[in-house]
Amino acid sequence: MSISTDQETAPIAAPRNGGAANVLRSFGSLFGGSESTRPMTPQSSDGYVEFGMQDPERNGRTLGTFAGVFSPVALSMFSALVFIRVGYVVGNAGLYVTLLQFLIAYAILLFTVASVCAISTNGAIEGGGVYFMISRTLGLEFGGSIGTLFFFANVVGCAMAIAGCTEGLIDNFGKGGQFVLHSDSYLPDSDWYRFLYSSIINTCMLLVCLVGAALFAKTSVLILGVVTICLFATYISFLSVGPTDDTISVPSTNTLLNGTKFLPYTGLSATTLKNNLGSNYTQDYTSNNKPVDFSTTFGVLFSGVTGIMAGANMSGELKNPSRSIPWGTLSAVCFTFVSYIILSFLMSCTTPAETMQNNYLFLMPINLWPPFTAIGIMTATFSTGLSNLIGSSRILEALSKDQVFGSLLNFVLRGTWKGNPICAVLVSWMLVECVLLIGSFNIIAQINSVLFMLSYLATNLACLGIELTGAPNFRPLFKYFTWHTCLIGLLGTVIMMFVINPIYASLCIILCLILVIALHLFSPATQAAQWGSISQALMFHQVRKYLLMLDPRKDHVKFWRPQILLLVSSPRSCCPLVDFVNDLKKSGLYIIGHVKLGDFKGVEDAVENQQWWQFLDHMRVKAFTEVTISRSIREGVQHLIRLSGIGAMKPNTIILGFYDNEAPKDFFQNGSSPYKTDDFNEGDIQNFPIRRDGQPKHFEVQEYVEILCDTLRMKKNLCLCRNFQRLDKNFITISKHVKYIDVWPINVFNPTTGDPFDMVSLFMMQLAVIMLAKWKHLRVRIFLCEASEERSMGTFETNAHHMDVSPKLKLEQSLKELRINADIVEIQEWCRDTEFTQHSRVLKQFTGQADEALLDDGDEIAEDKFNRSLLYMQRVNQIIRDRSDQTALSFIYLAAPPNPTLPDFNDRSASYVELLTELTAELPPTILVHGVSTVTSTTL
């Protein structure tokens, strides 16, 4: 005999299928060691290049720590705040609250910088800066979504800097400006004029970006020098300029002080300091006189110091990102913090709150040389905006290279000229123009703060997650980093996001979640596999912990669920069964097992495993695969049954296909099959080869029955599936003709009235109820087959307290206690036909209940008994078939197979399978079930 056709799911075999050196760099005492191990970066598909050994000039990496990181970060953190808005914050919040806000802001920044330094010293950093770090740590979904939001944050940051530059331009050269007090020539001022000036500034930045980032980097040191000189000039002016009442004029846009033309300035004064210590919130004359509070001042303050990522954004141009990003960023943070604290203290000592609240550019008229402040405003805001514009274009270029949004951003790659992403710069420029339509610097600043905080949150989350997973490859050289710094930074950003503006914060988080879901559904999976995802590391960490907690000694029948091992030969022939078992598992463990005949010579596990995972993806089933190689099918199945799963997650139910003579059906090639695909065809070679009609099977029927015996001996529930090539789930769902799931809880080899209540029958009912949850429109039918009176009496004598209760009533009571809703159908053939019942008695010799006395029969008598048994099975089959016209699925009691230790086991096993073949011939999809464990409970 040969093995099954439709599913070929018996454990049938398929034929046997036929560095780099580390570069050590000195990082100084800032890091945990004096040397850094630089990982390799893939250069091509067929080789690797040692990243540290590449010539920086050839890779376009020409920037060092000071020019590439310190200068951009310091300039971005000065931005428009240093000359335009520190007075706004101090005048409204007071010195104490201002210092508190700076401490909060810089604490968040410092902890975030620690996370950035940890990531940047844990591997090679390429273009894309923070986006590159987050995406390669958190994975595609979170990395792509946060990278997109960080791109928008840079766009908004650029717009904010341009708005500050325009404000300084109008206050200097507009009506009543510092340089046009006695002239009739001044810049006209209105909302649309301001938008025009902002657009001109934005276009100038565009021209610089089109020339290239290297030009800005080369000039950033000079610009930082100019800004620093202007800032020191401001310090000196505070200390040297005396009191005045006619120097600081009220801006023309300020409608809060009608009739007042000048604002007071006291110079160094203890009284002024005392008056400026506490908060004195008023209204913002640049935002339609909206009230000012803690959240608005902190939002403006934080927006001015969000430039800590400016150096990381230049990672693609840095000679040594792992060294430059930590050193340059931390030193720039310290430098700007000290500068801001000194500036805030001097303002509180010299300038009344009224002045700081009503003229945000009061620094210019009190400067020893007012052009110092004008130059400082223009250079600081222009350089900040330029840094953000370059950063946003580099992030957009990285998103397009990674194909995060598929082919949507391909135009960015095509629009790159000599390494400069022209199209990305143009897209960023256009979006900046859109943000500039908002107009108000302070409103843009709040949006900017929330967006940057969200990106900082993601950075801290990335480091916290990878640190908690304990990944061995996370070995940052930056030593001032622990999970505590990540957690504090993460909590700080979340809290302050909602303090600044709960609406903006909620919208940004919702947008981030939408992007995460969209990228999870539509992004190419290959990228996530190449990068690695922290979600996988976290899941491994948690799964391992809970697997250890899942103690099999504490299992209870109330919480039993099927944990299934499905044994298949070729996936091509068993697609309907694989799909069906996925529904039968009831959220339990599902393993698809396969045995290959041969040895381990020439085995390519990686290729084969990839094919099996591809098969699971094609079938859309939630399962695992286990493939083993052995000298025989039986031995391989023993391996799979004993070793599949882990801990308490071990299979308790083994499902095999049926051993018959039907030709296998290739569901991958069948034109009408819902599983049709060409994904497993490589030219003329088909993956998962299938046994063709007429070809011999890989093992005999005796080995098949031995596998059944092994399964029961290992205390596993056993299911044999037949006719599943006919299963059409879609038809069952829409058909009004198909109505039932049938259960035949009687051992046809040895029927008794106790059968509906034994362990096997209860297991069948449990499986039927599980399928009823999937096919809710069907009903379960349980066929009660009453045995002969003599046989019944034998049963009732052992159950005297049930003698007065009919089997049907007893079954109804049992179903009620088990909460199973089913129709009971009585079958009378076993009682009415005495000859029919007598034929069933000889079937014992073909099962595990064989009587030794039956072994002494002569050949003629044995053959006669077998023929009578075949007739009996045909009668039973006819009974079942007559009642299966509207049946979607049948569960039939499987008698235990013959014992392999019997002397004529080969003959008995062949007869056993042949009788089962007659029993299930031309039936709907049928499962022969033999349970060995209790799976139902009547207790609460």
Confidence of residue 606 (pLDDT cuts 50, 70, 90): low
Distance CA 199, CA 430 (A): 10
DSSP letters, 237-280, are HHHH---EEEEEEPPTT--SSTT--EEEE--S-HHHHHHTSS--
3-state secondary structure at position 451: helix
DSSP H helical ranges for 405-440: 410-414, 422-436
452 versus 634: which is more confidently predicted? 634
Q: What is the DSSP letter of 211?
A: H
Q: Is the pLDDT of residue 8 over 70?
A: no
Distance CA 702, CA 912 (A): 10
Q: Is the pLDDT of residue 266 over 70?
A: yes
Q: Is the pLDDT of residue 58 over 50?
A: no
- The pTM of the whole model exceeds 0.75: no
Structure tokens at 661: 């003579």
- The pLDDT of residue 282 is 92
Indicate the helix (H) or strand (E) that contains 378: helix 371-401
Written as one letter, the residue type at 486 is C
Indicate the helix (H) or strand (E) that contains 15: none
* For the chain, percent of residues with pLDDT exceeding 70: 81
- The pLDDT of residue 75 is 83
Which position has the token pair 């899942």? 550
Pairing of strands 926-930, 887-893: parallel
DSSP letters, 497-564, are HHHH-HHHHHHHHHHHHHHHHHHHHHS-HHHHHHH--HHHHHHHHHHHHHHHH--GGG--GGG----E
Tell which residue, 462, 449, 516, 512, has the closest CA to residue 489: 462
- The pLDDT of residue 886 is 93
Confidence of residue 577 (pLDDT cuts 50, 70, 90): very high
- The pLDDT of residue 26 is 33
40 versus 241: which is more confidently predicted? 241
Q: Is the pLDDT of residue 534 over 80?
A: no
Structure tokens at 683: 């030219």
Structure tokens at 795: 């049963």
Q: Is the pLDDT of residue 100 over 80?
A: yes
Distance CA 73, CA 221 (A): 11
Confidence of residue 884 (pLDDT cuts 50, 70, 90): very high
Pairing of strands 717-722, 926-930: antiparallel
Over residues 10-37, the mean pLDDT reads 38
CA-based diameter of the chain, in Å?
A: 132
Structure tokens at 9: 């799911």
DSSP H helical ranges for 842-902: 859-882
Structure tokens at 362: 């009061």
Distance CA 786, CA 719 (A): 24
Query: At residue 653, what are phi and psi to the nearest 5 degrees?
Result: -135, 125
Neighbours of 938 (CB within 10 A): 10
Q: What is the DSSP letter of 66?
A: I
DSSP letters, 107-159, are HHHHHHHHHHHHHHTSS---TTTHHHHHHHHH-HHHHHHHHHHHHHHHHHHHH
Indicate the helix (H) or strand (E) that contains 366: helix 363-366
Confidence of residue 82 (pLDDT cuts 50, 70, 90): confident
Among 249-263, 405-419, 480-494, the range with the most confident prediction by mean pLDDT is: 480-494
3-state secondary structure at position 926: strand
Query: Environment class of residue 19 by beta-carbon count within 10 Å: exposed (0-12), middle (13-18) or buried (19+)?
Result: exposed
Q: Write down all domains in the chain, each with its CATH number in brackets.
A: 112-182+198-217+265-334+384-527 (no CATH), 563-720 (3.40.50), 723-788+805-939 (no CATH)
Over residues 780-800, the mean pLDDT reads 58
> Are 170 and 246 in contact, with CB atoms under 8 Å apart?
no
Tens digit of pLDDT for each residue in 656-700?
999 988 888 889 988 788 999 888 887 667 788 888 777 788 788
The average confidence (pLDDT) of the chain is 80
Q: What is the DSSP letter of 81?
A: I
> Are 386 and 209 in contact, with CB atoms under 8 Å apart?
yes
Q: Is the pLDDT of residue 853 over 60?
A: no
For residue 824, list its beta bridge partners: 782
310 versus 658: which is more confidently predicted? 658
Structure tokens at 435: 């943000």
Tens digit of pLDDT for each residue in 540-554?
888 888 888 888 888
Q: Is the pLDDT of residue 51 over 70?
A: no
Q: Is the pLDDT of residue 757 over 80?
A: yes
Confidence of residue 854 (pLDDT cuts 50, 70, 90): very low
Tens digit of pLDDT for each residue in 187-218?
787 888 888 989 998 898 888 888 766 666 66
Structure tokens at 598: 């041969």
> Are 449 and 306 in contact, with CB atoms under 8 Å apart?
yes
Over residues 444-472, the mean pLDDT reads 83
Confidence of residue 592 (pLDDT cuts 50, 70, 90): very high
Confidence of residue 50 (pLDDT cuts 50, 70, 90): very low
Confidence of residue 866 (pLDDT cuts 50, 70, 90): confident
Distance CA 147, CA 749 (A): 67
Confidence of residue 743 (pLDDT cuts 50, 70, 90): very high
At residue 159's C-alpha, the angle toward residues 154 and 161, to 5°, is 95
Q: Is the pLDDT of residue 560 over 60?
A: yes
> Are 277 and 53 in contact, with CB atoms under 8 Å apart?
no
Query: At residue 713, what are phi and psi to the nearest 5 degrees?
Result: -65, -30
Query: At residue 150, what are phi and psi to the nearest 5 degrees?
Result: -70, -35
Distance CA 659, CA 35 (A): 65
Written as one letter, the residue type at 602 is G
Distance CA 135, CA 528 (A): 9
Tens digit of pLDDT for each residue in 123-136?
666 655 667 777 77
- The pLDDT of residue 544 is 86
Structure tokens at 412: 């960015």
CA distance readout (Å), 227 to 122, 295, 364, 465: 34, 28, 14, 39
> Are 740 and 779 in contact, with CB atoms under 8 Å apart?
yes
- The pLDDT of residue 303 is 81
Structure tokens at 291: 């009230």
Confidence of residue 246 (pLDDT cuts 50, 70, 90): confident
> Are 358 and 88 in contact, with CB atoms under 8 Å apart?
no
Tens digit of pLDDT for each residue in 289-302?
889 999 989 988 98
- The pLDDT of residue 3 is 41
Confidence of residue 321 (pLDDT cuts 50, 70, 90): confident
Distance CA 868, CA 915 (A): 11
